Structures are given as C-alpha cells and as structure tokens.
C-alpha cells in the first residue's frame, strides 16, 4: 500500500495511467459497455461506479489542455428528451479537479465504440446508469 493513493484504484490501473502519454485516451465504461471485445487493455472494476472512479483518477490525471474537449460522452439517442442525469455528477467532479474545463464532447454510440477501440485502455465498471461511458484524453503535468 501507498499513502495518498485512492484505494479504489487497483495497481493495474495505476500502472496504465502512468504509462499513458499526452493525447492517449482511456475509457471508463458502464456495465453494459462491450469493453472486453473492444479493449487493447482491459481493467476490471466491477464493484465500483463511474463517478467514484472518475473522482479518484482526476486527483492526479491531467486532462489535455491543448484540445477544446478532452472529455467525451456517449451521446444520448435523438429519441431521448433529456441527457442522462449522471452527466451532472461528472460535471461536478470535473469542476472540482479541472476548474477551467469547458464543455464535454458528445459522440454517437457507434462512433464512440470506434474511438474506444483506439483508446489506450478501457476500465469496465459495475455502473448501472445508462449512457454513463466517458473518455478522458490525457494532458501533460505542468510543474508550478
């Protein structure tokens, strides 16, 4: 064990986050997402929900400062009248860690799958909320 590392993050995930470079992407996927069939690297976090993982990851994972939208969501179908409520939780978590973060990108379902295939890794969770999938684009650590 180490100090100040959120215990929700398994060693395999910490290793992957450390390996990732600027511009690499990681998917945090809900329980319905076909992660095993799409992933180059798959991390199982079945007993956890996305908001708690997102909060733990963003404590030390820099988002890409050089793109307008380093966070992407799987867009709701046009037949849905409202966006998923879990997106409001994501906004609160992102605002807590990345004060200058702008809007989230929304990607159509099958285009999201295509982008997920190219991601560095996919984290499969036990999240039950629909359309809870999110992609994070890694930035650079800037020493102050």
Q: Which residues are catalytic?
A: 22, 64, 113
DSSP letter for 51, please. Answer: H
- Number of Cβ within 10 Å of residue 140's Cβ equals 11
Q: Which residues pair with 74 in a beta bridge?
A: 107
- What are the residues whose beta carbons fall under 8 Å from the beta carbon of 32, sequence distance 6 or more? 130
């Amino acid at each position: 064990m180490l100090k100040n590392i959120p215990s929700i993050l398994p060693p395999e995930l910490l290793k992957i986050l450390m390996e990732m470079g600027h511009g690499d992407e990681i998917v945090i996927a809900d329980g319905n997402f076909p992660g095993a069939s799409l992933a180059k690297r798959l991390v199982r976090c079945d007993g956890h929900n996305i908001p708690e993982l997102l909060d733990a990851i963003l404590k030390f994972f820099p988002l890409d400062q050089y793109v307008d939208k380093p966070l992407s969501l799987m867009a709701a179908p046009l037949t849905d009248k409202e966006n998923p409520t879990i997106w409001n939780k994501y906004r609160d978590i992102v605002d807590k860690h990345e004060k200058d973060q702008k809007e989230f990108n929304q990607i159509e379902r099958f285009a999201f799958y295509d982008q997920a295939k190219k991601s560095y890794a996919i984290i499969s969770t036990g999240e039950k909320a629909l359309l809870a999938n999110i992609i994070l684009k890694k930035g650079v650590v800037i020493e102050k």
